[in-house]
Amino acid sequence: MPKLNTGTLAIDYELRGEGPPLLMINGFRRSRVVWLEGVLQPLAERFQLILMDNRGTGNSDKPQDGYSIEAFADDCAGVIAGLGLPAAHVFGVSMGGMIAQRLATRHPQKVRGLALGCTNCGRGGSIAPEKRIGELLRLMPNDTMDAREVARRQEEVYYMPGFRQSQRDLIEGMFDLVNQNPTPLHAVKGHLKAVDAFEACADLPQIKAPTLVITGDGDPLIPPENSRLIAGRIPGAQLVVLPDASHFFP
């Protein structure tokens, strides 16, 4: 796959579909491989998708440090510019939604339209998950618990109970796919540090791009009240709350 040098490192990406460009930004420790075909196929019929691996994931560079939401946003701006595009629509989920917010305030000229999925605006006013859910997110493999066991324990953070029961093959297959090229531990910790330091609630009124905010009504990790807060602070933003959907609503 091709790579773009964004000024500080190389970001791996691929293009798919035709139409106005749409940059897809994934979340905490996830590369682009976790976008499901059921999401990509209909979008690729209307847009040229720019699917990128955040720094630290997939085939992008994995520096030892330099992880912040601002750095991720600058990477995204570098990808848009490196493709010779004046701007693109942007869809970010979870940590990717944080990156998309910062991209829209740090590089507003690069963002034609904005979609923010299952995300929050950081430390300055977000609604936190239950303590137990937050602790599950931070589980790491150790001498007594391998990566698959960690993933199974974290399932309640991401999926509705019925989905976990009915879609075992899909969930296990996703684990296998992600772990063909796992995100190294130093990058996982870097991503967590970036999320913990993120603060953009006061900046949301600066966003001028037409904005759609999407959340699942059963998201335990980033409670849907966060999306209501974001939509209320971005001028003209629209909010969609998906019924019977959790954090991994796509």
Report the pLDDT value the prediction gives residue 151, as an integer from 0 to 100: 93
Residue written as token pair 């309640």 = 156
Answer whether 133's CB lies under 8 Å from 153's CB: no
Give domain status of residue 249, yes or no: no
Give domain status of residue 248, yes or no: no
Answer whether 149's CB lies under 8 Å from 172's CB: no
For residue 89, give the H/E element and its range. Answer: strand 88-93
Give domain status of residue 250, yes or no: no
Q: How would you write the pLDDT of the chain (250 residues) with one tens digit per residue? A: 689 998 889 999 999 999 999 999 999 999 999 999 999 999 999 999 999 999 999 999 999 999 999 999 999 999 999 999 999 999 999 999 999 999 999 999 999 999 999 999 999 889 999 999 999 999 998 889 998 999 999 999 999 999 999 999 999 999 999 989 999 999 999 999 999 999 999 999 999 999 999 999 999 999 999 999 999 999 999 999 999 999 999 8
CATH number at residue 177: 3.40.50.1820
DSSP secondary structure string, 229-248?
Answer: HHHHHSTT-EEEEETT--TT
**Which value, in Å, is the radius of gyration of the alpha carbons in the chain?**
17
Distance CA 33, CA 51 (A): 9
Q: Which domain holds residue 125?
A: 3-242
Report the pLDDT value the prediction gives residue 206, as an integer from 0 to 100: 97
Interhelix angle 185-197/69-82, nearest 10 degrees:
100
Report the pLDDT value the prediction gives residue 8, as an integer from 0 to 100: 82
- Total domains in the chain come to 1
239: β partners: 213
Give domain status of residue 216, yes or no: yes
Give domain status of residue 53, yes or no: yes
Give domain status of residue 17, yes or no: yes
Tell me how far the alpha carbon of residue 220 is from its chain's centroid: 16
Using CA atoms, how far residue 163 sits from 17, 32, 171, 235, in Å, is 29, 22, 9, 35
